[in-house]
Structure 1
Amino acid sequence: MSTIYYLSSKEMKARYLEVLPYETKRFATSMLKPKYTTASHALVTGELNHPDFDMRSFLKTESIFIHIPKAAGSSIGKQIYGGITCSHTSLYWYTLALTHKQINSFFIYSIVRNPWDRLHSAYYFLRSGGLHRGDRQSFREHLSHYTDFADFVHDIPKSGLPPIIHFKPMHYFVELRPGKTFLDYFGYFEDLDRAYARILDRIPRPEATSPRLCRENITTNKAISYKEDYTGRMIDIVGSTYSRDIDLFGYTFDGHSRESAKFQCRRVAQDS
């Protein structure tokens, strides 16, 4: 006997919005989720006077940098946009803030990082105090009971990832749904100078054009290499947890290959 599945009203709304034309979806979202529209409007106008909620530098350069946590976002933001990165705003929010014409014409890009290395860096970043009170609170509530990084990773199969933005999978930030994106380019954290040069080639009026990227917000209080902190079991746990990121961006524990990456940008040929 076939089973009939009933969608919740929230799921019905999400599926309905997905099939609408771009501008119609923006209007429908403003009706169904007015708080979302208010937040996206604040991004465009900078009315909150806060660097995490001000995309005027993006509008000026006709570019959008999607800042994945612990993937050189602070460095990119400081040198290209004078410190403005709109925090860890996902592609979804930009589709609410920008018109169809803007989303189609702006250069939209991001930097990705080895998932094993990124998780390791994020854990030690929060353990060392993070950047602000919210980071310290996140550590106290969700991580302080673990004795070390290994204890944290071994608990993931049982407890899942903590609800902290630094641990969200990378595809969450750059996809609207599986296979749907407006991203033009992604660079590799592991080859940051090449990625940075490629980005500067595409942005017409960057506020800073140093030929080399100065590193900001480097995590301290951790092993020299993430590889030193992993056992075989831990490698498997993180590999399973971030399997989609690994598949999309062509990562293995030891490295990456753009040729193996399955993520499809919309129009810009990727570098090697």
Structure 2
Amino acid sequence: MVKVFLRKVDFKKGIISEMRKIKDFIFEFIFNRLNKVRVYSHLENKYKFIYIHIPKTGGNGILKSLFNLDFGLGHKPLELYYKANRTKFDEYYKFTIVRNPYDRFVSAFNYLKAGGNSQVDIIVLKEELTKHRDVNDFISELKKNPELMVNVMNYVHFMPQTYFLKGNIRATSIDHIGKQEDMETSFNFLKNIFSLNNLELKKQNVTKGYNDTLSYDSKTFLYNLYEEDFRYFDYSSQL
């Protein structure tokens, strides 16, 4: 009698679970259409993962090494995945790579000043960046130009890294936060998670460290600007 009851309970739970998946699938389809974006990529659905690609952290490199992917998956915040499909969000493995905020800012500055990509807004920003001889000069301008400051911080490359992991969801929702400075460790860990054998981490371009580039005043400014990143991801200010 008890076994029959338990089978009925399991059957009911299975039906409810499948109904939720169908409901979330329909909702995700509508969500993507309304927002003109495909949140969950084919690769993420295939391997059941969510990768939060924070700009200028070496994210394309780890995707290339793990999945032989030659293009990025976009810079979508964790909350967007949560809103698009709760079933997948709860089931999929979620990870990201972060970087020292000083290095990331310098890397973003150099990348965008050199042209970045062909988006119109990036071209406009490039025109602003090329006015400045170096990153310290650019930071000096940010200090005295609030309008420029607001505009710059709206660019995805300069947004705080915590922006991509926060919102109306638990911070503990992310399963693995790796660091660009120790990419090998994250790569080996994720390789085991996804049962991907005989892979090697493809070498990344190594950029000059911030200590060779940023002035004391610039580092002070950036620490105040990205203080939450420093604290949340346990990076030293090293002023």
Asked whether the 8 Å contact 1:91–1:173 carries over to 2, the reply is: yes
Which residue identity lines up with residue 176 of structure 1 in the other structure?
Answer: G
2: CA distance between counterparts of 1:133 and 1:96?
A: 27
2: CA distance between counterparts of 1:79 and 1:209?
A: 11
Q: State the Cα distance separating 1:190 from its structure 2 match.
A: 0.6
Compared CA separation, residues 86 and 134, structure 1 to 2 (3 A): farther
How do 1:1-272 and structure 2 match up within 5 A?
38-39=34-35, 42-44=38-40, 55-81=41-67, 82-98=69-85, 100-134=86-120, 136-158=122-144, 159=146, 160=149, 162=152, 163-177=154-168, 180-204=171-195, 210-215=199-204, 218=205, 224-254=208-238
Q: State the Cα distance separating 1:144 from its structure 2 match.
A: 2.9
2: CA distance between counterparts of 1:157 and 1:41?
A: 35
2: CA distance between counterparts of 1:134 and 1:124?
A: 18
Q: State the Cα distance separating 1:242 from its structure 2 match.
A: 0.1
TM-score (norm 1): 0.67
2: CA distance between counterparts of 1:244 and 1:199?
A: 26
Q: CA RMSD in A?
A: 2.9
Which residue identity lines up with residue 201 of structure 2 in the other structure?
Answer: R
Which structure shows the higher helix fraction? Answer: 2
2: CA distance between counterparts of 1:64 and 1:179?
A: 15
2: CA distance between counterparts of 1:114 and 1:185?
A: 17
Q: Which residue is equivalent to 2:8?
A: none
Asked whether the 8 Å contact 1:40–1:94 carries over to 2, the reply is: no
Q: State the Cα distance separating 1:96 from its structure 2 match.
A: 2.6
Compared CA separation, residues 179 and 200, structure 1 to 2 (3 A): same
Deviations 1:112-166 (A, max 9, x none): 0000010001100111122334475143354233232111112333332503110
**Equivalenced residues, count:** 208
Percent identity (aligned): 23
Q: State the Cα distance separating 1:244 from its structure 2 match.
A: 0.4
Compared CA separation, residues 249 and 178, structure 1 to 2 (3 A): farther
2: CA distance between counterparts of 1:238 and 1:178?
A: 27
Q: State the Cα distance separating 1:39 from its structure 2 match.
A: 3.2
Asked whether the 8 Å contact 1:79–1:209 carries over to 2, the reply is: no
- Greater RCO structure (CA 8 Å; 6+ sep): 2
Which residue identity lines up with residue 110 of structure 2 in the other structure?
Answer: Y
2: CA distance between counterparts of 1:39 and 1:77?
A: 25
Which residue identity lines up with residue 242 of structure 1 in the other structure?
Answer: Y
Deviations 1:64-87 (A, max 9, x none): 111000001110222223235321
* Structure 1 runs not aligned, ≥5 long: 1-22, 45-54, 256-272
Asked whether the 8 Å contact 2:64–2:202 carries over to 1, the reply is: no
Compared CA separation, residues 116 and 97, structure 1 to 2 (3 A): same
SS of corresponding position for 2:157: helix
Q: Which residue is equivalent to 1:258?
A: none
